[in-house]
């Protein structure tokens, strides 16, 4: 009981912070879902972007919570500079992966093509004409006319010219003349 009396204001501030951030998370999640559904984006991509937003809010919560508990700016600056130095070296080694994740987030909000569209990627060395089967966090899954599956990195799709050949193309036509995706 002495603990709660001693840290009553910090405990109350922590609860208020948690409620505010949970409300912000709920609002952001709802907005992302509405944007995704309005744009016709599949649920897996919507959940991925919601997860990114949740992790960001969690990191913000940790930072503010440290200040609430009395951590001084100098101490946090030392911790974060050490962490960012290590992360900077590690992230330099995996910049390609981060580039694909960032491109995936950009594609969520601003990508004119959807799953099921037939596109042509104008690549000088390897031009691709295929149907978008899935848009994942790191790459597009493209189904060629011959049935081959091609994975194309998200960061490259934003760098190459792309032509929409057919909206909502059929992935697998049936022999009986009907089409199914």
Mean pLDDT computed over 75-89 = 81
103 within a domain of the structure (yes/no)? no
Q: Are residues 46 and 126 in the same domain?
A: no
pLDDT at 179 over 70: no
CA–CA separation, 22 and 63 (whole Å): 15
Shortest CA distance to 171 belongs to which of 138, 137, 143, 140?
143
Confidence of residue 171 (pLDDT cuts 50, 70, 90): low
Is the same domain home to 77 and 145?
no
pLDDT band at 99, cuts 50/70/90? confident
**Which residues span the domain enclosing 148?**
111-180
Does residue 67 form part of some domain? Answer: yes
CATH number at residue 164: 2.30.30.520
Same domain? 57 vs 9 = yes
Name the pLDDT band for 28 (thresholds 50, 70, 90). Answer: very high
98, part of any domain: no
* C-alpha dihedral sign at 160, 162, 138, 110: positive
Q: Dump pLDDT digits (tens) for 49-70.
A: 999 999 999 989 998 998 888 8
Average pLDDT over residues 88-94: 73
Domain boundary at 40, 64, 93, which? Answer: 93
Query: Looking at the structure, do residues 21 and 77 belong to the same domain, yes or no?
Result: yes
Pairing of strands 118-121, 172-173: unpaired
User: Based on the domain organization, do 61 and 119 belong to the same domain?
Assistant: no
Domain assignment present for residue 100? The answer is: no
**Torsion sign (Cα): 74, 78, 84, 89:** positive
Is 88 in the same domain as 127?
Answer: no
Cα–Cα separations (whole angstroms), residue 97 to 6, 91, 102, 127 = 46, 9, 9, 23
Q: Kindly state whether residue 155 falls inside one of the protein's structural domains.
A: yes
Considering its fold, how many domains does the chain have in total? 2
49: in domain: yes
- 140 in the same domain as 83: no
Nearby residues of 51 by Cβ (< 8 Å), 6 or more positions away: none
Give yes or no: residues 18 and 81 share one domain. Answer: yes
Cα dihedral 117→118→123→125 (10° resolution):
130
The reply to whether the predicted model has a pTM over 0.85 is no
9 and 89 part of one domain? yes
């Amino acid at each position: 009981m002495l603990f709660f009396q001693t840290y009553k204001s910090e405990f109350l501030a922590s609860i208020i912070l948690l409620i505010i951030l949970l409300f912000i998370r709920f609002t952001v999640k709802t907005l992302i879902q509405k944007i995704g559904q309005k744009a016709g984006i599949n649920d897996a991509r919507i959940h991925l972007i919601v997860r990114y937003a949740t992790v960001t809010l969690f990191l913000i919560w940790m930072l503010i919570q440290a200040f609430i508990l009395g951590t001084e700016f100098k101490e946090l600056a030392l911790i974060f500079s050490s962490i960012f130095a290590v992360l900077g070296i590690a992230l330099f080694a995996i910049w390609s992966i981060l580039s694909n994740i960032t491109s995936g987030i950009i594609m969520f909000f601003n990508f004119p093509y959807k799953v099921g569209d037939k596109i042509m990627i104008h690549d000088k060395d390897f031009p691709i004409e295929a149907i978008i089967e899935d848009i994942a966090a790191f790459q597009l899954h493209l189904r060629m006319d011959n049935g081959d599956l091609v994975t194309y990195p998200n960061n490259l799709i934003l760098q190459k010219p792309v032509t929409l050949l057919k909206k909502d193309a059929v992935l697998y036509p049936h022999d009986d003349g009907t089409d199914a995706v």
